[in-house]
């Protein structure tokens, strides 16, 4: 038998848990520019005006990833603006002086972070480094991140 009161209790607990999770962290915004694209500002129309049509796209639960030559752009469904830029090009050097192809150890030394995970994050600058075979395989420039206090 369906018990509305029990379901409302569980829903209330879920809301309290989510609220506590959100309150426990802080949202940080970052301002990057890559080939005329600015996460948080640029729309798909802006990106297409500069880089022409994407090769293809993949829809996810809350964004769409558009694939261009050497990089991808995720457009957030709720805002219609770029959320991340995922860079595969080795000719791009990020604000930390790192590029696709640099070693994991060079990223660790630059950031002062050691990890065996397949990525490292510079939370001060909103840059994420993904590794394959202990080398940077892609650099992600984020518009916003949620950081723990």
pLDDT tens series, the chain, 149 aa: 434 344 333 333 333 433 444 455 677 888 889 999 999 999 999 999 999 999 999 998 889 999 999 999 999 989 999 999 999 999 999 999 999 999 999 999 999 998 889 999 998 899 999 999 999 999 999 987 766 54
Tell me which CATH code domain 28-148 carries. 3.40.33.10
31, 56, 89, 106, 125 from 143: Cα distances, Å: 6, 22, 19, 24, 10
Return phi, psi of residue 18, to 5°: -65, -40
Cβ within 8 Å of residue 49, ≥6 positions away: none
Return phi, psi of residue 49, to 5°: -60, -30
Q: What pLDDT is recorded for position 148? A: 59
Q: What pLDDT is recorded for position 14? A: 32
The tokens of 102 are what?
A: 């640099």
* Distance from C-alpha of 60 to C-alpha of 38, rounded to nearest angstrom: 21
Residue ranges of the domains in the chain? Answer: 28-148
In this prediction the pTM is: 0.79
């Amino acid at each position: 038998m369906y018990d509305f009161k029990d379901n409302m209790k569980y829903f209330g607990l879920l809301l309290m848990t989510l609220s506590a999770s959100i309150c426990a962290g802080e949202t940080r915004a970052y301002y990057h520019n890559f080939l005329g694209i600015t996460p948080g500002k640029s729309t798909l129309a802006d990106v297409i005006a500069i880089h022409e049509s994407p090769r293809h796209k993949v829809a996810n639960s809350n964004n769409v990833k558009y694939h261009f030559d050497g990089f991808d752009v995720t457009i957030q469904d709720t805002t219609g603006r770029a959320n991340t830029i995922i860079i595969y090009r080795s000719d791009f050097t990020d604000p930390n002086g790192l590029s696709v192809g640099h070693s994991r150890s060079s990223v660790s030394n630059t950031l002062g972070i050691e990890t065996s995970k397949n990525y490292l994050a510079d939370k001060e600058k909103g840059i994420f480094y993904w590794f394959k075979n202990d080398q940077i395989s892609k650099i992600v420039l984020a518009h916003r991140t949620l950081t723990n206090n």
